[in-house]
Amino acid sequence: MAQHGPVTVERDGDVAVVMMDNPPVNALGSALRQGLMAALDEVRGDASVKAVVLAGTARAFSGGADITEFGSAMQDPNLRQVISAVEDMPVPVVAAIQGVALGGGLELALGCHARVAWTTAKMGLPEVKLGLLPGAGGTQRLPRVVGVEKALSMIVTGNPIGAIEAQAAGLVDAVLDGSYPGAAVEYARTVTDRRRVRDREDKLEPARADPGLIDRVAAPLLKASGAEAPRACVDSVRAAVEMPFDAGSANERRLFETLVKGDESRAQRHAFFAEREAQKAKLPPGTQARPVQRAAVIGAGTMGGGIAMCFANAGIPVTVIETEQAALDRGMARIAELYATSAKRGSITPAQAEERRGRITGRLGLEGVRDADIIVEAVFEDMGVKKQVFAELDRLAKPGAVLATNTSYLDIDEIAASTGRPGDVLGMHFFSPANVMKLLETVRGRATDPAVIATAAEVGKRLGKVGVVVGNCFGFVGNRMLGRRQDAAERLLLDGASPQEVDGALTAFGFKMGPFAMSDLAGLDIGMRIRKAFGKRAPVADALCDAGRYGQKTGSGYYLYEGRTATPDPEVDRIITEEAGKLGITRHPIAADEITERLVYPMINEGARILEEGIAARPGDIDAIWLHGYNWPAWRGGPMFYADLVGLARIRDRLQDFHSATGDENLRPAPLLTRLADAGHGFADQAKRAA
Residues that bind ligand 3H9 (CB under 6 A): 24-25, 27, 63-68, 79, 100, 102-104, 107, 126-127, 130, 134-136, 138, 276
In the bound state with ligand 3H9, the residue whose beta carbon lies nearer, of 69 and 263, is: 69
Q: Judging by DSSP bridges, how do beta strands 51-55 and 15-20 pair with one another? A: parallel
Is residue 222 classed as helix, strand or coil in its secondary structure?
helix
Instruction: State in angstroms the smallest separation of the CB of 101 from ligand 3H9.
Output: 10
In the bound state with ligand 3H9, the residue whose beta carbon lies nearer, of 65 and 667, is: 65
Is residue 376 classed as helix, strand or coil in its secondary structure?
strand
CA 626 to chain centre: 10
> Among 510, 508, 515, which Cα is nearest to 551's?
515
Instruction: State in angstroms the smallest separation of the CB of 5 from ligand 3H9.
Output: 17
CA 584 to chain centre: 44
Instruction: State in angstroms the smallest separation of the CB of 20 from ligand 3H9.
Output: 13
Query: Cβ(103)–Cβ(159) under 8 Å?
Result: no
> Among 87, 62, 72, which Cα is nearest to 7's?
62
Q: Is 127 a catalytic residue?
A: yes
H/E run at residue 96? strand 93-97
**CB-based burial, 592-615: b 16+ in 10 Å, e otherwise:** eebbbbbbbbbbbbbbbbbbeeeb
Angle at 625 between CA 623 and CA 629, to 5 degrees: 130
Instruction: State in angstroms the smallest separation of the CB of 313 from ligand 3H9.
Output: 16
Instruction: State in angstroms the smallest separation of the CB of 690 from ligand 3H9.
Output: 18
Backbone angles phi, psi at 684, to 5 degrees: -65, -40
**CB-based burial, 113-140: b 16+ in 10 Å, e otherwise:** bbbbbbeebbbbbbbbbbbbbbbbbbbb
Measured CA to CA, the distance from residue 389 to residue 376 in angstroms comes to 11
DSSP class per residue in 424-458: GEEEEEE-SSTTT--EEEEEE-SS--HHHHHHHHH
In the bound state with ligand 3H9, the residue whose beta carbon lies nearer, of 65 and 188, is: 65
Residue number, nearest CB to ligand 3H9: 103
Backbone angles phi, psi at 642, to 5 degrees: -60, -40
Which residue in the list 10, 42, 127, 579 is annotated as catalytic?
127
Q: Judging by DSSP bridges, how do beta strands 402-405 and 425-430 pair with one another? A: parallel
Which residue in the list 42, 87, 107, 205 is annotated as catalytic?
107
Helices (H), 587-682: 592-612, 619-629, 639-646, 648-662, 671-678
Query: Cβ(606)–Cβ(481) under 8 Å?
Result: yes
Instruction: State in angstroms the smallest separation of the CB of 198 from ligand 3H9.
Output: 16
Put residue 49 in one of left, alpha, beta given phi > 0 → left and psi -120 to 50 → alpha: beta
Instruction: State in angstroms the smallest separation of the CB of 123 from ligand 3H9.
Output: 11
Instruction: State in angstroms the smallest separation of the CB of 594 from ligand 3H9.
Output: 36
In the bound state with ligand 3H9, the residue whose beta carbon lies nearer, of 277 and 520, is: 277
In the bound state with ligand 3H9, the residue whose beta carbon lies nearer, of 80 and 652, is: 80
In the bound state with ligand 3H9, the residue whose beta carbon lies nearer, of 158 and 515, is: 158
In the bound state with ligand 3H9, the residue whose beta carbon lies nearer, of 96 and 416, is: 96
In the bound state with ligand 3H9, the residue whose beta carbon lies nearer, of 110 and 566, is: 110
Q: Which residues pair with 156 in a beta bridge?
A: none
Q: Is 252 a catalytic residue?
A: no
Put residue 520 in one of left, alpha, beta given phi > 0 → left and psi -120 to 50 → alpha: alpha
Measured CA to CA, the distance from residue 593 to residue 663 in angstroms comes to 21
In the bound state with ligand 3H9, the residue whose beta carbon lies nearer, of 103 and 527, is: 103
Instruction: State in angstroms the smallest separation of the CB of 132 from ligand 3H9.
Output: 6
What angle do helix axes 263-278 and 229-242 make, rounded to 10 degrees?
120
Active-site annotation, residues: 107, 127
